[in-house]
Each structure stands twice: as structure tokens, then as C-alpha cells.
Amino acid sequence: MTISTTIDVRPLSGHTGAEVHGVDLREPLSREVVAQIRATLLQWKVVFFRDQDLTPAQHIGFGRQFGEVTAAHPTLPAAFPEFPEILVLDNEAYASAEATGDGPSIESRWHTDVTFVANPPMASILRGIVVPPYGGDTQWTNLAAAYATLSEPLQQLSDGLHAVHHNFLPIKRGEMPVALKQQFQSKDLRAVHPVVRLHPETGEKVLFVNPNFTSHIVELTRQEGSHLLALLYEHLTSAPFTCRFHWEPNSIAFWDNRATCHLVPTDIPPGMHRSMQRITLAGDVPVGPDGAASYALAGERFD
């Protein structure tokens, strides 16, 4: 049975994020509703759904209505053999005996998912399974709005630059389980992307660098590039471009990975469990304002 309805969209901030109500994601959606959700995603960059008690199969089925669902991750294993598309993000599973104090064992940095391949995911869909009663919110930032508010000279400079992204995690000893870091970096994955990409659906110019996976800018010296990247990171994480989502069990976040960065929470209270399940949708190869497309330095496509 296909459900046809009209969605109720409730924006969360001036630039980023909207809750979508009036839809049951357990059932196949009508073409009209899929188009409405896609249009809302393109406008607000991340959309949220409440009270969606999905099975893993329904989670994957929802994603397939918007694109091809990829494997769980290029290097991290899927948690369920029967669902190789699902990546489990669980603070207890990631806990490290080497970590000290009450802080998180994995350092949190703003990032866009899997930008170390030539075709980063088009979108990610994250489902709240076990959610602490407080703490554990996720934040997103709108990279199209960030680009649009740069000064014209910085826009012109950024339009012609390209950056290397890699899957090396700049994490200090004790901040992440050694086995997990080794698994994440078990393959050499590197790609060159435009610093500004053209959004393939909206035509917007989007900043496409992030503190987690961007290594350096090809056309600049390392010193020049590090200063420019620091400026862009400070700008793109400015509060006006962001929204913050408070998770509840059975909440879902669906974000445009071509136009957002997000920040994993660091305020989960000690002893509280937080477990999420994520799928990703296959993406295209980014293209910059100069017409140059992204390309791999090491590794293969992610599909």
C-alpha cells in the first residue's frame, strides 16, 4: 500500500533544519510525498522525523526511495550481516580503555561524511535507537549559506581552489580505541575535491571543506592553506548557519551530505547509553565552478 498525503514542515532555524510531520515512514511513500520531502531537504539541508518506529529493513526501504543505498562504510564493518547497509554508531561500543576522564573517547569535529572518496554520499539517514534523556544532541551547518555570506574576494579565491581529503584521523593517543582507528584507516583513501562545489540539484555554490577530513589545499603552500582553511572552518561553523536537534527514541535525521557539515555530540552524561543506526545514499562526483571534477588519489568509488 502506498500512502499519499501532504507533509507538515516546521523549520527549526533561519537557514538550517526542519521537522517533517504527517508522514509514516514505515510504508512506501507516494511520488508526491517523496518529491515534497526532497524539496524540503534541498531547502533546509537536513530534515527530521519524530516517532518513526522503523525496522532496519524499513530504514533501508525509506532511503531507497531517494537514491541508491550504499554499503555501511568504506572501511568500518556493518554490525548486522543481514543488513550490510547499516552502520551502528554506539558510544558503548566505541568506549576505549585508553580514554581517561569522563570525556568522550572519540574527539568530535565538524565533518561531512566520507569526503575521502571521489563520490561522497549524497545523503545520510540516521535513526535514534537508544537515546539518553538529556545530552547527545547533534548539530548541522548549512554550507550553501556559509558560502553565500563570504565576502566577494574570498568567494573568488575559493572558487578556483581544490583540496585533498583523506581518511586519516588527527586524533591524539587515548582519544580513540586503537583497533577502531586502525580499522577506519585500514585503506588509503584520498580524493581531491573543489573547495567550492556546485550543488547538482539546486545549482548553489557550497563550501566543501571540513575539519575532520580535509588535509590541505593543492594550489597553496601548507602554511597559506592552513590559514585559509582555519578561516573557512570558523566561518562555516558560525551559529547563524546551524541548527541543533534533540534526539528522542525513533527520531530520524536525513541530511544533504553535499551541503552540510555536522557535529557529533560530546555531552553524553557518563554511564548513559546512546546508539544510532545510519545508512548513506550514493553520491555523484563533485564539480567546481571552474568545471573541474573531483578525482581519487587512492581508493575506489563508494557505492
Q: DSSP H helical segments within 10-79, as ranges?
A: 31-44, 56-64
Q: Work out the pLDDT band at 51, boundaries 50, 70, 90.
A: very high
> For residue 242, what are the CA distances in angstroms to 14, 15, 21, 131?
9, 7, 21, 22
Active-site annotation holds for 90: no
**What is the C-alpha to C-alpha distance for residues 253 and 245, in angstroms, rounded to an integer?**
9
Question: Is domain 16-298 classified as CATH 3.40.50.880?
Answer: no
Cell of 16: 538550517
The single residue of 26, 109, 111, 244 carrying the catalytic annotation is 111
Active-site annotation holds for 258: no
DSSP the chain: --B----EEEE-SSSS-EEEES--TTSPBPHHHHHHHHHHHHHHSEEEE-S----HHHHHHHHHTTS-B--S-SSSPPSBTTBTTPEEEETTTT--TT--SSS-SS----B-TTTTSSS--SEEEEEEEE--SS---EEEEEHHHHHHTS-HHHHHHHHT-EEEEE------TTSS-HHHHHHHTSS--EEEEESEEE-TTT--EEE---TTTEEEETTS-HHHHHHHHHHHHHHHT-GGGEEEE---TT-EEEEETTSEEEE----PPTT---EEEEEEE-----B-TTSPBPEEEES----
Contacts of 133 (CB under 8 A, 6+ apart): 272
128 pLDDT more than 80: yes
The single residue of 15, 127, 197, 278 carrying the catalytic annotation is 278
Q: DSSP H helical segments within the chain, as ranges?
A: 31-44, 56-64, 143-148, 152-159, 178-184, 222-236
Lowest mean pLDDT among 30-39, 63-72, 260-269: 260-269
pLDDT digits (tens, 9 = 90+) for 245-273: 999 999 999 999 999 999 989 899 999 99
79 pLDDT more than 90: no
Q: Are strands 46-49 and 18-21 parallel, antiparallel or unpaired?
A: parallel
The single residue of 15, 38, 59, 113 carrying the catalytic annotation is 113
pLDDT of residue 23: 97
Q: Work out the pLDDT band at 4, boundaries 50, 70, 90.
A: low
pLDDT digits (tens, 9 = 90+) for 225-252: 999 999 999 999 999 999 999 999 999 9
Active-site annotation holds for 235: no
The single residue of 162, 165, 262, 274 carrying the catalytic annotation is 262
What are the extents of the domains in the chain? Answer: 16-298
Active-site annotation holds for 301: no
C-alpha gyration radius of the chain? 19
Tell me how far the alpha carbon of residue 103 is from its chain's centroid: 23
Residue with cell 588509503: 188
131 pLDDT more than 80: yes
Mean pLDDT confidence for 68-94:
91
